[in-house]
Structure 1
Amino acid sequence: MNFLTMFRERFARDDRGTIAIVFALTLTVAVMVVGGAIDLGRALSERSRLQHSADAAAIAGARALATTNGDAQAIAAAVFSSNYGGGATAVQPTVTFVGNGVKVTASGGVATTLLAVAGIPNLPVSAAAMAEPTFETVDEPEQEGGDVCILLLDPNKHHALLVNGSSYVSAPSCEVHTRSGNSTDAAMINSNVHFDVKKSCVIGGTRLHGGSQGVVGPIEDGCRAALDPFAGTLPVPQIGACKPQQNFNGRTAELTPGTYCGGWNFNGNIKTINLAPGVYVLNNSRWTFNGNLYGEGVTIYYADSNSYWQLNGQGSVSIQAPTSGTYKGILMYENPNIANRTQITINGGSNSIIKGLIYLPSRDMTWNGNSGVEADELTMVFNSLIVNGNTTWRVKPFVTYGIAAPRNNSGGGKVTLKSIRLKPVE
């Protein structure tokens, strides 16, 4: 047996130093466990601070939204920053409006210490909170109420209401409410406008632009505009199989309820479209027409942001909502989950007789010149509204789906802010 062989055998039998190796390995694991617990504890503490800040921001934003005390989004963001003060990296709150409330979300990361050695440089933290106002009616002397025929929901838009020259709006029994908090230009009324309304209630400010205005009803800036009373309350129809495309060239188009998909062009030689009573679901569908459109007892539902009607040309429109059943009073409305804003335009020459609720809170509506609206019972809700020159409207409130101004319109009471409450995050 040579020397190398003897050395290997003695080294293999020798157990001196084994305990030190095991201890070193065990100590490393123990240090990692303790360090991980410390890092996790810091992350949990940071998340608690983040949640507290989000709660406070949501409550402050909801209060501002309800009382028109400034820009709700800016106030919520400022309250979040003052409560949080830093800690996690790059935390910027996101403030959005959900129904009548305010939602605040925030996320960031907590830098680790010993866990970084294990390849975990940070631990993500996030929080979300949603708050909405509640109101109560308190007794006060009887006062005259007002019915809101037009409600515009965009909270910050420049010119959320824009009425351009030579427009004629006759709605002396209607209020127009604009929820934009833009301090100077939430609403703009241009020169040579007839805007005879019971009241224009604007959370922000109104600009009367240009030369002399015509008849302009009372304008109240800094007004507590009505909240959206229809959010999440309207029935959602079932989306069925798509109806087959048809060629109506040169004849009257007789349409029946159901689901319509894709583009439907009723221009050209189609002079008249008749809608049978029922619910018409537009699923990724665009209707464009310049002829006459008639329908009684009809409801139009936009299933997505790509669906809309485009009215052009010299045709006339006479459509009325159902007078009974599930969709009573609902003329035109959309999927409540549509998030992005899209535009709908009604162009010159179309004269409309409309009856019912038009609820399109995600749409920026434009009514262009030489179009007219006659409506004895009409409520309209849009994101924003432009009424262009030579447009004539004669509108009266719609009782079935009316919007009460923020007071007891029957007299005997005044609606005041009761509380701001946190809600489960949707």
Structure 2
Amino acid sequence: MMAAVMMPVLLVVAGGTVDVSNAFTEKRHLQEKLDAGVLAAATKSTPQTQRAEIENFLGDLVGEDGKKIDLTNSVSVASNSDGSVTGDFKSDFKPSFLSIIGLNTLPISVSSTAIAPKAKASGACIYVLGNKNQAVLINSGAIVKSTTCGIDVQSVSDPAFIMNSGSTIDTTRFCVKGTKYIKNGGTLTNMLVGCNAAADPYAGKFAEPKLPTTCTNSGTKDGQTQSIKPGMQCDLTFNGSPTVTFEPGLHIIKGRMIINSNATVVADGVTFYFPDVDSEIRANGGLTFKASAPTSGAYKGILMFEKTSDAAVGSNTRQYIFNGSKGETLEGIIYLPNRDVTYNSTTNQSNKITMVVNTMIVNSANWSLTSYDGADTGAKTAARLVK
């Protein structure tokens, strides 16, 4: 009789041991899949792409009914302040024996954190992508100096660049993919021809915003003090010589924004987006311009960028002119791969930037450069687990 009484208990104990062992085996299996997913996610730059990577690794999991598990509520992903990514996954294991005593499920949860350090920069702070004659023209009076970064030129045309007398390019390198050029004088340090010039480091990295249905501002603005809220600015002109403050956030520049002579512009924590090649900010000289990119959020590190998703980069370009200024202090990434950029006379700049353009002309500029690498662009090295 005692044996008959103890038999169910022994069955539950023995079966329960099997159930618990199987549950731990399943947990190890899920942990391995989550670790792999988080390692892949850590190399991505946005919460959406990070979650997509994790779900890709967990996507083949099926429930007791043989159907794929709905990951909507069972997976959570967090992008941490140190650049790491944490993934959590919760599931239920259905035991075979413990259900005898009413334990129909055993909850299983796994967590993993990985980080991927940013890749080292190529050594360039200016990337000239256009493969055409005279992709870079350096005219008399141009002075460009940097002790931390250089200029990379993709052109293999004849000539890839022209440098005229009375100019100075003193950077860590001047790397030209082609071997033919014209140098009519001037000082050019650390020139490398036939060099492995770096390609576009930001191609496809930036999320392009959807345009609002209405303009935040348009027409003309009169008055010595102007405060412009984020939104879409359409064919906007600032009359006189005002002080214009762009409030932090995304400013979509639709059409031409004209800032008249001797104005002062302050744009801290701002991203300027150009939705087509005909949109630009045009300053008419004598400008004092202080601008910095956001330090967090979707457009972290991006000071200026343009739409590139609708056509091949370089297939439809426009001139973009930075006219003479009293002084410019810019910090962030300037991504204008469809622009033939011209820097005109007495453009005095002290910039911490990384710039991508199609071609470049430098006229009588006094330009001090430091590279900027603060954008979250997805350019990261191999990830490692930290938790």
1:254 equivalent in alignment to 2:227:
yes
Match of 1:344 in 2: 320
8 Å CA contact 2:327, 2:348 repeated in 1 = yes
Pick aligned residue for 1:300 from 266, 272, 289: 272
Q: Distance in 2 between matches of 1:392 and 1:348?
A: 10
| Greater CA drift, 237-246 or 165-174 | 237-246
User: Residue 172 of structure 1: SS of its match in structure 2?
Assistant: coil
Task: Kindly report which structure 2 residues correspond to 1:147-162, keeping only aligned pairs within 5 A, or say none.
Answer: 147-155=123-131, 157-162=132-137
Task: Kindly report which structure 2 residues correspond to 1:264-303, keeping only aligned pairs within 5 A, or say none.
Answer: 264-267=236-239, 269-290=240-261, 291-303=263-275
Match of 1:311 in 2: 283
Q: TM-score, normalised by structure 1?
A: 0.56
User: Residue 245 of structure 1: SS of its match in structure 2?
Assistant: strand
Deviation, structure 1 residue 203: 1.0
Match of 2:176 in 1: 202
Q: Distance in 1 between matches of 2:370 and 2:300?
A: 18
8 Å CA contact 1:273, 1:293 repeated in 2 = yes
1:362 equivalent in alignment to 2:335:
no
User: Residue 156 of structure 2: SS of its match in structure 1?
Assistant: coil
Q: Distance in 2 between matches of 1:205 and 1:266?
A: 45
Deviation, structure 1 residue 305: 1.3
Structure 1 residues 180 and 244, CA gap change in structure 2 (3 angstroms): same
| Greater CA drift, 230-239 or 314-323 | 230-239
Structure 1 residues 227 and 145, CA gap change in structure 2 (3 angstroms): closer
CA-to-aligned-CA distance 1:337-364 (integer Å, 9 cap, x gap) = 3541100111223421000000000000
Match of 1:420 in 2: none
1:228 equivalent in alignment to 2:193:
no
Structure 1 residues 188 and 401, CA gap change in structure 2 (3 angstroms): farther
Pick aligned residue for 2:144 from 159, 162, 169: 169
Identity over aligned residues, as a percent?
A: 31
Deviation, structure 1 residue 208: 4.5
Deviation, structure 1 residue 209: 2.9
Q: Distance in 1 between matches of 2:219 and 2:255?
A: 17
Deviation, structure 1 residue 206: 5.0
Deviation, structure 1 residue 306: 1.3
CA-to-aligned-CA distance 1:126-159 (integer Å, 9 cap, x gap) = xxxxxxxxxxxxxxxxxx985210001112x111
Q: Distance in 1 between matches of 2:206 and 2:183?
A: 38
8 Å CA contact 1:379, 1:402 repeated in 2 = no
Q: Distance in 1 between matches of 2:376 and 2:361?
A: 22
Match of 2:190 in 1: 218
Q: Distance in 1 between matches of 2:197 and 2:292?
A: 27
Q: TM-score, normalised by structure 2?
A: 0.62
1:388 equivalent in alignment to 2:363:
yes
Structure 2 unmatched runs, 5+: 1-119, 382-387
Structure 1 residues 190 and 257, CA gap change in structure 2 (3 angstroms): same
Pick aligned residue for 2:374 from 383, 389, 400: 400
RMSD: 2.4
Structure 1 residues 217 and 248, CA gap change in structure 2 (3 angstroms): same
Structure 1 residues 206 and 150, CA gap change in structure 2 (3 angstroms): farther
Pick aligned residue for 2:349 from 373, 379, 382: 373
| Greater CA drift, 251-260 or 360-369 | 251-260
1:185 equivalent in alignment to 2:159:
yes
Structure 1 unmatched runs, 5+: 1-143, 409-426
1:332 equivalent in alignment to 2:307:
no
Deviation, structure 1 residue 278: 0.4
Q: Distance in 1 between matches of 2:332 and 2:129?
A: 19
The total of aligned residue pairs comes to 255
Match of 1:13 in 2: none
Which letter maps to 2:211? Answer: I
Structure 1 residues 194 and 402, CA gap change in structure 2 (3 angstroms): farther
8 Å CA contact 1:248, 1:270 repeated in 2 = no
> Per residue, is there more helix in 1 or in 2?
1
Q: Distance in 2 between matches of 1:265 and 1:178?
A: 34
Structure 1 residues 354 and 371, CA gap change in structure 2 (3 angstroms): same
Which letter maps to 1:169? Answer: V
8 Å CA contact 2:256, 2:282 repeated in 1 = no
User: Residue 231 of structure 1: SS of its match in structure 2?
Assistant: coil
Q: Distance in 2 between matches of 1:354 and 1:219?
A: 26
8 Å CA contact 2:151, 2:175 repeated in 1 = yes
Q: Distance in 1 between matches of 2:201 and 2:133?
A: 23
User: Residue 154 of structure 1: SS of its match in structure 2?
Assistant: coil
User: Residue 198 of structure 1: SS of its match in structure 2?
Assistant: coil
